[in-house]
């Protein structure tokens, strides 16, 4: 089932909150996972695996390094769902 980008963003923010404790409101489209949200590579992988489960998509290891901003992740998930 394809979700809107806004729905994906909200779902992703919940996952980020659960992993890092960051406020969901701080997870904005143009934020960088590493620079702005201070998420390291292992936390990023945890977020990726939880996103796979939540959104019913597969995010290969080779793709993870391309997900630099929240928007990158939302766009990838939306594309994988369609």
The CB-of-52 to another protein minimum distance in angstroms stands at: 9
26 DSSP assignment: G
Distance CA 76, CA 70 (A): 10
Distance CA 20, CA 37 (A): 9
Nearer to another protein, 29 or 45 (CB): 45
Determine the interface stretch with another protein among 7-15, 25-33, 46-54, 73-81 (rule: CB under 8 A): 46-54
Handedness of CA 35, 68, 58, 81 (dihedral sign): positive
Residue 49 interacting with another protein (CB under 8 A): yes
Distance CA 72, CA 77 (A): 9
> Quick one: which of 22, 29, 64, 80 contacts another protein (CB under 8 A)?
64
Nearer to another protein, 57 or 64 (CB): 64
Q: Binding residues for another protein, per CB under 8 A?
A: 40-42, 44-46, 48-49, 61, 64
């Amino acid at each position: 089932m394809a979700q809107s980008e806004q729905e994906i963003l909200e779902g992703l923010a919940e996952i980020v909150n659960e992993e890092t404790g960051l406020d969901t409101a701080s997870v904005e489209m143009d934020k960088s996972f590493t620079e702005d949200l201070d998420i390291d590579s292992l936390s990023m992988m945890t977020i990726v695996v939880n996103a796979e489960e939540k959104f019913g998509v597969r995010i290969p290891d080779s793709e993870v390094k391309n997900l630099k901003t929240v928007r990158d992740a939302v766009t990838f998930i939306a594309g994988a769902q369609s």
